[in-house]
Structure 1
Amino acid sequence: MKMKSVVKLGVVGAASAFLLAACGNSSKESTSKYINWQENSQLPTLDASKATDTLSFSTLNNSNEGLLLNAANNKVKPGVAESYKVSKDGKTYTFNLRHSKWSDGKPVTAKDFVYGWQRTVNPKTASQYSYLFSDVKNADAIGKGKAPVSSLGIKADGDYKVVVTLDKPQDYFKYLVTMAPFLPQSESAVKKFGSAYGTTSKDMVYNGPFKVEGWTGTNNSWNLIKNKEYYNASKIKVAGIKINAQNDANTSLNQYETGQFDSVQLAGAQQVGKYKNSSEYHALKQASTFYIELNEKKDPIFKNANIRKAISLAIDRNEYTKNTLGDGSISAVGYVSPGMSKRDGKDFTEDAGTKTGVSYNLAEAKKLWAKGLKEVGKKSVNYSILSDDTDSGKKTTEFLQTALEKLPGLKVSTQNIPFKSRLNRSQNGQFDMVVSAWGADFPDPISFLQLFTTDGSYNNGKWSNAKFDADVKNAEGVDANNAAKRWNDLVNAEKELMADQGIIPLYHQVQSRVIKPRVSGVQFFPTGASYDFRDATISKK
């Protein structure tokens, strides 16, 4: 991306931010000088090159700072870079850095950005997010081992100027540099901590508004503590945020109502209904989609399109979102989340969305299932479905087990494990069917669609479709600077993914949270890192 628009997609909503605040209370409030915040899962990592999930991204966003920061209304604002400029051809970005420090007192310099980016694209790091650097000069060649890491298109011009060279203009580049994989990294810290780097809060240095403390790598709680070395420390109004991973929704809400939490995520129709009319309630629409991946490499039966389509058609998404989730989330209209991108006044899902791939028709599902079993030479099969051990994760696998066992000859078992373990098993292909989720990193359909190219690092099920690959390649290549053609490429890619049922979309998430009146100024972003505590305040009693 750049200051001037090359591909004008008319993005709306998904990159906007708003303040979480409340005025009124129906439960006991804490008097702590810290914000007490609930999360559903353990923190997976603090290594910016290896983070893959929204919780790690949000924690890194609050404990570190990149060149730019997300801002309201699809804008970016200065981060470590006080200012930047873009060349007329859109391929060279020059970032002018402010004088800032790491939490150990050492200066943050241009070399830290060079090293951090090089470490992420280095094949030895095995970063799943290295693909985001694809348009940075030589990044793809480096990833294939055909060019040295030092040839990456980023250089330090003195201590406080970073110059980035792209192979071609990239409409969303300014959003990318707000993300965790583009953070600066201290080479001395990486070498000091070695293999432990980013695996505990002590094995890390921070250049953001908060430092992470109390995280051992496996425990359920950690703290964001005000970083006195942060260049804007005087503007940080809270002492810190105490975060606790509590995946039992009833326990979490009880702790909220007794004042142990200032904010918790609600689960199910009963909890949402209790608070829906309260000023403490916030329905946070997210540019995210939950879906099922089928492991075609481990279980070749899933290579059969009729099998995949039958599984999808057997799922009543409306019943699932209304009666099982009950949290305001909406049934999937496709893979790409609605309300994120527009062109000529039309939402992307209006152009790309059809009922293909997200419909419920049990009779047709049974016909395709029988046809698929005959084609693969099977009469019955047994498979497991994997998900998180959260309240919604357990409800989801139970619902899917009941729905899918209506297909004659299919026996489904359920597995619910901790989020961090589920991520690891997904990435290593240790599943039959897995409920995954993707939240857009930036407000553009490509953030979703590029995942499922044949060589995509997040294509855990190993679905492959040459036409889909070509559409995505054209959108990022020959049509990158033609708004209309690029849009059509992405529309066609979405339609192909759904027509071939490469994945099985379930729903688009709306996170229902309650937050106490004493807390305000927490920013929420539907894309990228979810939360930003930089402007948070606690009212005085």
Structure 2
Amino acid sequence: MERRSFLKATGSAAAAAALAGCSSDSEGTEGAEEGTGGGMDSTDSSGGDVGTDLKQEGDLWRVNTGTMTTMDPIEATDTQSGIVIQQMFDPLMNYPDSQPAVEGLMAADYEVSDDFTTYTFQLKDATFHNGDTVTASDFVYAFERLTASDNSSRAYFVLDSLGVTHETTTETIDGEEQEVYKPGTLGVEAVDETTLEIQLESPFASTLEMLAYSSFAPVPEGMIGDIEGYEGEVTQAEFSSSSPIGNGPFEFDTWDSGTEARVSAYDDYYGENPNVDGVHFAVIESDSAQYNYAMNRNADIFELPTAQYDPGKVSVEEEDDQGRQNGTYGELRNGATANYSGVSNIGVFYLGFNMASVPKPVRQAVAYAMNQHTVVEQVFKQRGEPAYNFTPKSIFPGGPQNYNDRAENEYPYGYDDSQLGEARSVMEEAGYGDNERVAIELTIYESGVWSETASILRDQLESVYIDLEVNQAPFNTLLERGRNGELEMYSLGWVADWPAPDNFLQLLNPPQTDTSLDFPISYVNWQPENGDAAQRAEEAYQSIAENPAPTEEDQAARNDAYVQLEDANWEDVAMLPVYHELTELFWYDHVDFTPPAGMGPSRQKMNTVSLGDR
């Protein structure tokens, strides 16, 4: 699927950033891909005066668990920056309270051509934070920056994911001639001041969902001079750190990268004006400091680190139509009872195998040994759901019930069961035994919960002739080794770019998993070594490519192909799903707050939150 290959140089870094990008564990490694450090000293556990210089009484007080890296929406790939950027920049579409069904934001209305390749948007009457009117030309400029700027981390959103029409030119890069985007040729046009037209090369069912990314938000035309034809009013360094100008409900106030940030209410916002004076974000990376900060009531909405979390204190009163389990938690250390919400993220965390290095019987033995329920209950303290399909429940064909039915009735390696007898049998049939053991290296990113999971698995596999050596590596090192084909078995995760199964199952398209390529999307080297599972997976993904339109007929064809891909993965165990992460938030009674749904906190705007007396 060439236009959405996800393998081009423009997209490799951004694609990698989604991997395990929202993992969270007892060491507080959320946003593990950033590796930026610079946050609060981990030895400071007071939580009392951290990140309070910018605090104001009328603000909503939040905690960011990792250092923010940029305020430029085309540059950001980390969750913590995204949470703040989401408050300042409004794209065409939006996930209301992170629900996976999009609605218009800057788009007052839109039309789609009969062939699903031309999208025409009518814009709402809005202004930027500097008072300038938002026009269609500002969107054209923003799309060009996203595509052509050297500061963009998301060019593949335009060229590959959406497949916007464009021309290419040949350049010599590292001694090789490569086809690259030709600046100024993007199929995005300002028909008039309030009409924007986007031309796609071919249909893409998730076009509107993609356009909900803040990366597609408008920027005043010519504000930054990092693309051809514009000198810029400010440098990109200034725009990304001290002078971002957006069109969202909050405008930039102040930011200290490793300490705190504040955005203030924008009074001339075209939508629902914020109910709070601003939002204050304290940057606290230490688990103990986060906990103390919240217990000292320095945060209105907060998370609880796993070490201080007690599942017995959760009381769920209802589950809404978005799968959010709402209720209370408590009492807390400070004597209060907090409001509680937990929802399964649209994401999956898994063990991957380099199939060229790890034989199929060994992969199957690992699958037989793994009990996903045990991992979730014992390691994650029930802060997640066991994963048996690679596609998350909420977007699985046929919905969560079909996901559950497949898992309980069809999963071949034991549902809620560690089948060591079956693991031993499949190994013995392949010629392994006490005198013919196999050694496998499992590389995990730096995470306490994955370390504990690996220890459990290592002990189990010892009895089935597999000696598992567990090593940890920084996240970026793990990705680099994976791309180079140097991993045997590894832990990673994938969080949704857009809420559709193909966003996940692209990782299981065999041609894209070849580590001899410059930019493989995953590192499993899935070849037809045993049986025809790899061929069936490739044919299923080709069916997805051939049925891309947002029609019922094409959707039905894609749904069939999604399940075929899941079945092929079960057979060959290219990737072993382990868990779907649970996003849990807690807040005090003085906060009137709708918690985020499955798209996560980085997709939620805070203008509808209200505060009572603290």
The normalised TM-score by structure 2 is: 0.69
Tell me how many residue pairs correspond in the alignment: 503
Helix, strand or coil for the counterpart of 2:346?
Answer: strand
Q: Does 2:475 match 1:450?
A: no
The range that moved more, 44-53 or 93-102, is 44-53
How big is the shift at 1:283?
1.5
SS at 2:544 equivalent: helix
Structure 2 Cα separation of the partners of residues 140 and 290 of structure 1? 37
> Of 88, 104, 114, which aligns to 1:63?
88
CA distance in 1, matches of 2:94, 2:560: 30
Judged with a 3 Å threshold, the aligned counterparts in structure 2 of structure 1 residues 421 and 496 are, in CA distance, closer, same or farther, namely: same
Shift in Å, 1:184: 2.9
Partner residue, 1:461 = 523
Q: CA deviation at 1:526?
A: 0.6
After superposition, the Cα gap between the structure-2 partners of 1:423 and 1:411, relative to the gap in structure 1 and judged at 3 Å, is: closer
1:495 Cα offset (Å): 1.6
| Mapping for residues 7-22 of structure 1, pairs under 5 Å | none
CA contact (8 A) 1:114 1:155 kept: yes
In structure 1, C-alpha distance between the alignment counterparts of 2:96 and 2:371, rounded to whole Å: 37
Q: CA deviation at 1:82?
A: 2.3
Structure with the greater relative contact order (CA < 8 A, sep ≥ 6): 1 or 2? Answer: 1
- Answer with 452-461 or 249-258: which moved more: 452-461
For the residues of structure 2 that align with 1:424 and 1:115, how far apart are their CA atoms? 33
Question: Which of 67, 77, 96 does residue 42 from structure 1 map onto?
Answer: 67
Query: Are residues 1:526 and 2:598 paired?
Result: yes
1:325 is displaced (CA, Å) by: 0.5
Query: 1:138 maps to which residue?
Result: 165
Distance 1:497 1:365 in 2: 18
Distance 1:229 1:408, change over 3 A: farther
Which of 569, 574, 577 is the aligned partner of 1:497? 569
Q: Does the 8 Å CA contact 2:87/2:250 hold for their aligned counterparts? A: yes
* Distance 1:355-1:147 versus aligned 2 partners, 3 A rule: same
Which of 222, 225, 235 aligns to 2:273? It is 235
Pick from 152, 159, 171: which aligns with 2:205? 171
Q: Which deviates more from structure 2 when the two are superposed, residues 50-59 or residues 437-446? A: 50-59
Aligned residue number for residue 366 of structure 2? 311
Q: Return closer, same or farther for 1:165/1:471 CA change in 2, 3 Å cut-off.
A: same
Of the structure 1 ranges 31-40 and 421-430, higher mean CA displacement relative to structure 2 is found in 421-430
Instruction: Give 2:347's aligned residue.
Output: 288
Residue pair 1:153, 1:165 contacting (<8 A) in 2 also: yes
**How many angstroms does 1:65 deviate by?**
1.0
Q: 1:192-211 to 2 correspondence within 5 Å?
A: 196=237, 201-202=241-242, 204-211=244-251
Output the CA distance in 2 between the equivalents of 1:492 and 1:53.
33
Choose which of 286, 290, 303 in structure 2 pairs with 1:252: 290
Q: CA RMSD in A?
A: 4.1
Amino acid at match of 1:97: L
Number of the residue aligned with 1:154: 188
Tell me, yes or no, if structure 1 residue 114 matches structure 2 residue 140.
yes
| 1:283/1:229 CA distance change after superposition, 3 Å | same
Indicate the SS of the match to 1:96. Answer: strand
TM-score calculated relative to the size of structure 1: 0.78
Does residue 537 of the first structure (1) align with residue 613 of the second (2)? no
Which 10-residue stretch deviates more, 476-485 or 62-71? 476-485
Which residue of 2 is the match for residue 321 of structure 1?
376
**Matched ranges for 1:392-411 at <5 A:** 392=449, 395-400=452-457, 402-403=459-460, 408=465, 410-411=467-468
Structure 2: distance between partners of 1:387 and 1:373: 32
Cα 1:270–1:160 change in 2 (3 A) is same
Where structure 2 has 5 or more consecutive residues not aligned to the other structure, the ranges are: 1-47, 49-54, 171-177, 227-231, 316-327, 329-337, 514-518, 527-533
Whole-angstrom distance in 1 between the partners of 2:385 and 2:400? 22
User: Could you give the per-residue CA deviations for residues 315-370 of structure 1, whole angstroms, max 9, x where no partner exists?
Assistant: 22111101110134111121111133454996356468831467632343355567
Q: Deviations over 1:459-486 (max 9, x none)?
A: 2425334542332232132464423222
User: Is 1:189 aligned with 2:240?
Assistant: no
Provide the C-alpha distance between the structure 1 equivalents of 2:252 and 2:546, rounded to a whole number of angstroms: 40
CA distance in 2, matches of 1:345, 1:214: 42
| 1:330 equivalent in alignment to 2:388 | no
d(CA) in 2 for partners of 1:128, 1:370? 49
Matched, 1:223 2:270: no
CA 1:245–1:84 in structure 2 vs 1: closer, same or farther (change >3 Å)? Answer: same
> Which structure has the greater CA radius of gyration?
2
The equivalences for 1:86-125 within 5 A come to 86-122=112-148, 125=152
2:161 & 2:135 partners in 1: Cα distance?
A: 24
Q: Aligned partners of 2:60 and 2:386: how far apart in 1?
A: 33
The one-letter code matched in structure 1 to 2:211 is V
Q: Which residue of 2 aligns with 1:470?
A: 539
Identity %: 19
Alignment check: 8 A CA contact 1:153 1:166 kept: yes
